Amino acid sequence: MIVTLIVICEVGFWVLLAAGLATRYLLKMPRTGLALLLCEPLLEVLLFVVTAMDLKDGAEPSWRHGLAAVYIGYTVGHGHRTVKWLDGHAAHRLGGGPPPVKPPRHGMARARHEGKVWLGSVTAAAVASGLLLLAIWYVGDDGNADSLRGWIHVAWRTAGIHGLIALSYAIWPKKAPAGEAERRPESALPARDPEHVADGLVRRPGKDEEQVR
């Protein structure tokens, strides 16, 4: 049942995300779309409650409960970044907004970006570990909790491997190809007032001149 619920939550995540973005930009109902996007965390709350109820009913802790905790942690650590990335592309393609700013690809800017993504993995491991420790305390610290402890090691081992990959971009920064200039995207430039642009091209008569006329 736990594995089935994880699959349902994963499918529900993408269904709610697609419905929220379509409502925001295709149906022009931003508030309703935002409400659908805010329902995303409810899936993780449902999964957590069902997992706790399963343990309370006497189910023996197993890899399924550990997987549920890791899934919730991953959603907390990386879910917001995923939603923000997709929302930016939807706003551009469906809502006529500016193209989203792409992450840096070279140098220390790329290293800093990878470091921020790695912090999401650290958050995921911390949340998963907290839930697993809570489950171990709930069922009692005995041999039945060994599988839950194993998932704590899995969570931090994954975060550690991701950290080494992110660190490699700082130790060996990727160089930009020769002749490629780093330019700021147009979406990052400050908007210019059309009236100010016109003032720079055509001199407009002042109030005193209008009165004379």
Is residue 26 in some structural domain? no
pLDDT at 23 over 90: yes
Residue 2 near residue 61 (C-beta atoms within 8 A): no
Is residue 190 in some structural domain? no
- Closest to 89 in 3D by CA, of 13, 27, 24: 24
For residue 177, the Cα-to-chain-centroid distance in whole angstroms is 29
Q: How far apart are CA 33 and CA 16, in angstroms?
A: 9
Q: How far apart are CA 172 and CA 166, in angstroms?
A: 10
Is residue 189 in some structural domain? no
Q: Could you tell me the pTM of the whole model?
A: 0.76
List b or e across 144-164, with b for residues whose CB sees 16 or more CB atoms inside 10 angstroms. ebebbbebbebbbebbeebbe
Residue 123 near residue 76 (C-beta atoms within 8 A): yes
- Residue carrying structure tokens 């990878």: 114
Is residue 100 in some structural domain? yes
Is residue 165 in some structural domain? yes
Is residue 208 in some structural domain? no
Angle among Cα 41, 42, 48 to the nearest 5 degrees reads: 95
Lowest mean pLDDT of 1-15, 113-127, 179-193, name the range: 179-193
Number of structural domains in the chain:
1
Is residue 118 in some structural domain? yes
Q: Which domain holds residue 149?
A: 44-174
Rounded to 5 degrees, φ, ψ at 179 are 85, -5
pLDDT at 189 over 50: no
The stretch 43-65 carries a mean pLDDT of 85
pLDDT, tens digit, 9 for 90 and up, residues 64-108? 889 999 999 999 999 999 999 999 999 988 888 899 888 999 999
Is residue 197 in some structural domain? no
Share of the chain above pLDDT 70, in %: 82
Ramachandran region, residue 91 (left: φ > 0; alpha: ψ -120 to 50; beta: rest): alpha
Q: How far apart are CA 118 and CA 62, in angstroms?
A: 28
- Closest to 139 in 3D by CA, of 46, 58, 64: 58
pLDDT at 38 over 90: no
Q: What is the pLDDT of residue 111?
A: 94
pLDDT, tens digit, 9 for 90 and up, residues 130-167? 999 998 888 775 556 788 889 999 999 999 999 999 99
